[in-house]
Amino acid sequence: MAAPFSSGNDTVELPVSWIQNREIWLSGVFQYTNTWPLGIKLVESGAVDLDVPAQSGRTPLRRGRSSYGR
Condensed to tens digits (0 to 9), the pLDDT of residues 5-35 reads 555 666 778 888 988 898 888 776 666 677 7
The burial of 13, by beta-carbon neighbours within 10 Å (0-12 exposed, 13-18 middle, 19 or more buried), is given as exposed
List the chain domain ranges: 2-67
Per-residue pLDDT at 7: 54
The answer, as to whether pTM is greater than 0.75, is: no
